[in-house]
Amino acid sequence: MLPNRPFTILVAEDDEEDRLLLDEALMQNGLFDCGRFVEDGDQVMDYLLNCIGPDAVNPLPSLIILDINMPLRNGLETLQAIRSNSQLKNIPVLIMTSSRQEVEKAYRMGANSYLVKPILFDDLIQMMGDVATYWRDTVNLPNTEY
């Protein structure tokens, strides 16, 4: 089942190799051109703020995937900034990181999911397929067109 509106995923990942692997995993699941990639939390907020208002130039993402350990503004700080903005707060945010240490904190701060990066690429492909199936094909997302 395809959504009525474009499905875009904003991915914040500071590691170039991980960005390439995530992009390939999305493509392996038929999500060509769905991923928008940035390298840190400041770039996430710049991207998102260019999605709202009369001068919007970016498509508002259907889903945001944040790494926790990023320079400038980490994933949890970025999550907090998203949740405190009335025009962005309803966008689903997934934390995807290599550590299980921040699970409780991330959910308390408003994360919709917490994923641990798999070690094997085949597992990453499976995970991205599961993410797409759930967030694109299964749930009803809030209207995020402002």
Q: What is the pLDDT of residues 63-93, one digit of tens each?
A: 999 999 998 899 999 999 999 999 999 999 9
- Give me the pLDDT at residue 22, please: 92
pLDDT over 80 (residue 6): no
Q: How far is CA 57 from the centre of its chain?
A: 18
Measured between alpha carbons, how far is residue 103 from residues 12, 87, 96 in Å? Answer: 18, 25, 10
Q: What is the pLDDT of residues 38-71, one digit of tens each?
A: 999 999 999 999 888 888 887 789 999 999 999 8
| Owner of token pair 């597992």 | 123
CB-count burial class (<10 Å; 0-12, 13-18, 19+) for 60: buried
Domains annotated for the chain, with CATH where assigned, are: 9-137 (3.40.50.2300)
- How much is the pTM? 0.89
What is the identity of the amino acid at 74? Answer: N
- Give me the pLDDT at residue 144, please: 55
Confidence of residue 110 (pLDDT cuts 50, 70, 90): very high
